[in-house]
Chain A
Amino acid sequence: MIYVFDGSLEGLLTAVFEWFERKPGQVTLSLEKIYQPDAFTESLAIQNDRAKADRVWLGLQKKLSKEWMRKFYCAYLSEIPEIFNSLFLFTIYIFQNPAGAEKNYGNEHVLTLSKAARSVEREKHRMEAFIRFQHTTEGIYYCGIDPDFNVLPLILNHFKNRYADQKWIIYDLKRHYGLFYDLNIVEEITMDINTQALKQPAPHQLNEKEELYAHLWKDYFKSTNIVSRKNTKLHIRHVPKRYWKYLTEKQIG
């Protein structure tokens, strides 16, 4: 039996609800986008239902610690196609077992989920580290990103708490949405422009001081290096090449 859902958290949780209502035995959860029907396997299209989803979420909260709820959410944000089925089976496993079952690292779903959560947390941490704001002429600190996972919801608070006295935008160019802080609240925004062009704001869009500080930062980065200790392999392990495009210190010129 295959349950087909739309990729939303609500859909995933509804699927769990439906399973417990029908107890159809072994079920795989599949993503609508990639699901290919075949003649031999029965399928059920999940109709999202907020009330059902909420009940499952509340139920989970009763069984799992805050830390594990966070793992669950992070794993979901990984958007790895196989993770949805793992989350689905994990939830069923948690409800069917006495409290504490999530600590069973011998269990396949526990492990898959905590590994995915780890990767997402790492990406979140990297974004907190590698985001480089540029001060635009409109007085907004801007940065465009394209993270491996959907981490904007996870970094929101960090940036809101830290940069409370400056306007900023962090825009996910891959997922076509961003966060805008206007000195009061953070709003989700979409920008109806060619995001390709937004990767680097054009020079005329930038504050006059911007170039000076980019230079100073590059100079600083150069001076911190100790030539006799050079270790490129280690450097790349810490700052994988795919992130270089974000980094002011890595831009040439």
Chain B
Amino acid sequence: MSERLREKLSILADAAKYDVSCSSSGSDRKNTNKGVGNGHHSGICHTYTEDGRCVSLLKILLTNHCIFDCAYCVSRKSNDIQRAAFTVDEVVELTMNFYRRNFIEGLFLSSGIFKNADYTMERLLRVVKKLRLEQNYNGYIHLKTIPGASDELIHEAGLYADRMSINLEMPTETGLKLLAPDKSHKDVIKPLGFVQNQIVQFKEEKKLIKSVPKFVPAGQSTQMVVGATPETDKEIMYTADAFYKNFALRRVYYSGYIPISNDTRMPVLGTQPPLLRENRLYQTDWLMRFYGFKVQEILNDANPHLDIDIDPKLSWALRNLQHFPVDINTAPYRMILRIPGIGVTSAQKIVQARQFGKLHIYQLKNIGVAYSRAKHFIKCADTPFQMKDFQATQIKAFILAESQSKYLKTATNQLILFK
């Protein structure tokens, strides 16, 4: 009995790991009626995989049987692999027992499509209802929306899940059509839009009536596979930007494609996943969400790709030297945020601290500014008088020479692997 369970878990966790979303944040679900579990506003990573990714949720498929044949997916119909399916009770038991031992923040449940979309969605819903209603479980639940499932099922699922997501898979419709002819971005847009509408509606009602239940309190997210098809960084990030805006998504995830088949439409087996590129995309995502950058400032027709050797914030600064040097002691917060080497926390500390007197270099260092990087772009109380204006290429050379960037090292290392 337990041997079979172990085997199923290995198969169905293995198949689920390509979904990179791991967040358990954004839910403030309370533990009601002395049950078990609650949401943690910023989420908790209970451990990290050996490749350094956060493990926060029990991330599994209900089954890896699937009627579709998406080329980029290990569960595709034509792939010759072991198949398995959990029963509803098995998933409930696993979740409860992992949760009680503080292994996880909750459950991330996805599935291959067996029979049809509604049949699958209905099963997922049964797991979630059992957890909430029978086990009095208030921990985090991230539920995958099955493309093509009916509005009624999606609506009901939203009453129990903390987050729902549905993957765009490929950044452009052309890319998607190439690898998954049965799918289209429309199948994703419709449920995203439906859930988004419901979220807004429930919030409105909750303002009037306190007892209105929560509906997907941690919002929606989506994922794009990067590097399986030849899209530019600009295309990827413009799609992300549009989805952030149109569906108020909490997160867009970028997953560097890991070759899993000999399909000639995609990179060959053994090709390294584009980790550095993935990292640059996340950095851009952060600049858009927390640093007040418009996507067009970072990527545009003149710059359709992100630089590999330097991060996008530094790239932007070097292309826009007319805005620098920024005076630390007078510049508005939004400009301080744009200085390479200064993050959100340091920027906030700077604007608080400068009310007490002009800031000096040693204070900036203490506050946590990466001064050797920032010094090319700032003025503060004791900045040495500069004789000449440096060119962008010179500054870049200085910074690259000084920085011990781990990504740079990975980059060279990767280039060697690509040869």
A residues sitting closer than 8 Å to B (CB atoms) are: 100-101, 103-107, 111, 125, 128-135, 141, 143, 158, 161-166, 209, 212-213, 215-217, 219-226, 228-235, 237-239, 247-249
Contacts and interface: CB of A to CB of B under 8 A. Distances in A.
A223 B58 CA distance: 11
B34 A105 contact: no
22 contacts: A100-B355, A104-B352, A106-B353, A111-B367, A129-B44, A166-B36, A213-B97, A216-B97, A217-B98, A217-B103, A219-B6, A219-B13, A220-B9, A221-B55, A224-B53, A225-B51, A228-B273, A229-B52, A230-B51, A232-B50, A235-B50, A238-B48
Given A221-B55, A229-B258, A164 B34 contact: yes
A233 B35 CA distance: 39
Contact of A209 (B97, B360, B366): B97
A59 to B, nearest CB: 21
A111 B366 contact: yes
Nearest to A218: B6
A203 to B, nearest CB: 16
Nearest to A131: B102
Given A215-B6, A216-B9, A105 B367 contact: yes
B372 interface: no
B49 interface: yes
Contacts of A104: 352-353, 355-356
Contacts of B46: 129-130
Contacts of B55: 221, 224
Contacts of B94: 216
Nearest to A100: B355
Contacts of A163: 36, 100, 102
Contacts of B100: 133, 135, 141, 163, 166
Given A161-B38, A165-B35, A221 B136 contact: no
Nearest to B12: A223
Given A219-B10, A228-B273, A237-B52, 15 more contacts: A104-B356, A111-B366, A128-B40, A133-B101, A161-B31, A164-B35, A213-B98, A223-B14, A224-B59, A225-B50, A226-B17, A226-B18, A226-B51, A235-B51, A238-B54
A228 B101 CA distance: 30
Interface string B270-293: 001101000000000000000000
Contact of A164 (B13, B31, B44, B367): B31
B357 A223 contact: no
Contact of B136 (A133, A141, A165): A165
Interface string B27-41: 000110011111010
A128 B44 contact: yes
Given A130-B46, A165-B35, A228-B272, A235 B52 contact: yes
A238 B45 contact: yes
A163 B46 CA distance: 16
Contacts of A231: 50-52
Contacts of B47: 129-130, 221, 239, 247, 249
A233 B406 contact: yes
B296 interface: no
A111 B367 CA distance: 8
Interface of B: 2, 5-6, 9-10, 13-14, 17-18, 30-31, 34-38, 40, 44-55, 58-59, 94, 97-98, 100-103, 136, 258, 272-273, 275, 349-350, 352-353, 355-357, 359-360, 363, 366-367, 406
A238 B31 contact: no
A99 to B, nearest CB: 12
Nearest to A108: B366
A246 to B, nearest CB: 10
- The 4 A-B residue pairs with the shortest CB-CB distance, nearest first, are A234-B52, A229-B51, A105-B353, A223-B13
Contact of A224 (B13, B40, B349, B352): B13
Contact of A238 (B9, B14, B52, B58): B52
Nearest to B48: A238
Contacts of A215: 2, 6
Given A106-B359, A111-B366, A162-B36, A220 B13 contact: yes
B356 A223 contact: no
A114 to B, nearest CB: 9
A103 B9 contact: no
A162 B37 contact: yes
Nearest to A110: B353
Of residues B35, B36, B356, which shows the largest number of chain A Cβ atoms within 10 Å of its Cβ? B356
A63 B5 CA distance: 58
A130 B360 CA distance: 40
A18 to B, nearest CB: 28
Nearest to A159: B102
Contact of A135 (B58, B101, B366, B406): B101
A103 B47 CA distance: 34
Of residues A106, A209, A228, which shows the largest number of chain B Cβ atoms within 10 Å of its Cβ? A106
A216 B5 contact: yes
B345 to A, nearest CB: 10
Contact of A216 (B6, B53, B275): B6
Contacts of B275: 229
Contacts of A129: 44-47
